[in-house]
Each structure stands twice: as structure tokens, then as C-alpha cells.
Structure 1
């Protein structure tokens, strides 16, 4: 019984704590835009990998200053329409990123899906 509990705990802890980074390609759900998130030398950034939007510039940084803070990630996200950086809180739920964008007193949450 002791070993069964230990094995179950090991499996569950891997599921809960196994996602230590946001690396990968993420579909924003708009204009077939894919953001590639990578961690290089401890710095996590997201760049536009591909998009059907003719105004999107492939390779442009869209996420920066991303750091883990407990169970969430915090950083800056670029709003191309407003050409401004905003604070963002990112929560990973399996193959979905929930990104809460804070603009003054207002906030908006968007979802990106892993490709």
C-alpha cells in the first residue's frame, strides 16, 4: 500500500508540477498567427513564427520579460493595434495558455492553444 501511494503521488506531482516552461508553438486564434515561445539563457520570449495577417512581422517579439511567479507567469505582451506593451499574467492549463492582459483598470483574457 505504501508503494502504491508513493507511485500515485509521483505521477500526480509530475502532472501538476511538470510544466516548468512555456516553450513551444502557440496558436493565438487570430489570422492563423503562431507564436513560438522559447527560453534562452533563462529568458523566456515569444516571437511571431507565422501569420496570415499581412501586417504581422515574422520574428517580432510579442512576449518579453516573462518570469514564473508561483503557478503563473508574468511578463509583457505587445498589442500591435495600439503599438504598446501591456502587463500580462499567463496560466498554462495543459495545451492552453490563458493570458490575462491588464490595461489600467481593465483586463482581457485570451487563450492560445498549443500546436
Structure 2
């Protein structure tokens, strides 16, 4: 076996070991963001789920527009544990398009989402919730 082949072989083994060692760490980090979040002061709930390293936020409940439940409004979501920030694309119904969003977790129960549209930006607070039951009728 020549030296080049040995380097490739060892590199492959090292990559596999690193993948298996780091996967549980990455999973626990995205778990910080995964779950159900209620927009502060609004009747909108968002459920964030991750498939490996990329997440999607879908409407879990919307008191004003129940037909929107299930729609993916936050896409291409990634979480960077070293910066403590997430990046994704948030759908803005006003413009009917997706815009860059930055997510932060000031605490385990509070998430801030800053959406930038052109020169303007808006920061929205989301509160972690455990229960999304519909209101009594």
C-alpha cells in the first residue's frame, strides 16, 4: 500500500470517528431551538423540527388563520452553537416572499427572531410553550 492510499484510508477512518463522536453534540445543540414557540402577544404558534443539521418551522396553530396550520414559514434553518445564533429564511405574507432571519436564545424559554426586509428589520419575541390546545368554544 503506498503512502497516498494510506493517507486516504486513515482520513476516512478519522472522518467516520469524528462524525459518530460529534453527532450527539450537534443533536443536543439543535434541541435547544426545536419545539413549539408562541409569538409574544399574538395567537400564532410555530413548531421547529430539525432533520440532521437543517430545521424547518411550521405553523402549529394560528387563531386568525387556521388554514395556515402546517405551512412551512421558516426554512433552511441552521444553528451555530459557537455564536449562539440561528440563520434561516422566514416567509413574510406582506411581501409573499422569504427573507433572512437571525434567531437567538437569550434564555431557554425566549427566542428572538430578527427578520430583515431590504433596509428594514423587525425583531419578534417567541416564548417556548408545552401546550397548544385550542381555546374553549
Alignment TM-score, normalising by the size of structure 2? 0.64
- How many residues align? The count is 97
Shift >2 Å, 4+ stretches:
none
Q: Does 1:89 align with 2:98?
A: no
* Alpha-carbon distance in 2 for matches of 1:39, 1:80: 23
Match of 2:29 among 13, 20, 27: 20
Alignment TM-score, normalising by the size of structure 1? 0.76
* Alpha-carbon distance in 2 for matches of 1:67, 1:60: 19
* Alpha-carbon distance in 1 for matches of 2:128, 2:87: 19
* Alpha-carbon distance in 1 for matches of 2:42, 2:103: 21
RMSD: 1.7
2:99–2:115 contact (8 Å) kept in structure 1: yes
* Alpha-carbon distance in 1 for matches of 2:75, 2:66: 20
Aligned ranges for residues 40-59 of structure 1 at < 5 Å?
40-54=51-65, 56-59=67-70
User: What is the Cα deviation at residue 51 of structure 1?
Assistant: 1.2
Q: Which is strand-richer, 1 or 2?
A: 1
- Stretches of structure 2 that go unaligned for 5 or more consecutive residues are 1-27, 130-137
Query: CA offsets per residue over residues 53-97 of structure 1, 9 Å max, x none?
Result: 136511000111111232211111011232111101100122111
- Stretches of structure 1 that go unaligned for 5 or more consecutive residues are 1-18
What secondary structure, in the 3-state scheme, does the structure 2 residue paired with 1:53 have? coil
* Structure label with greater radius of gyration: 2
2:40–2:124 contact (8 Å) kept in structure 1: no
1:62 maps to: 73
Q: Does 1:29 align with 2:29?
A: no
Q: Which is helix-richer, 1 or 2?
A: 2
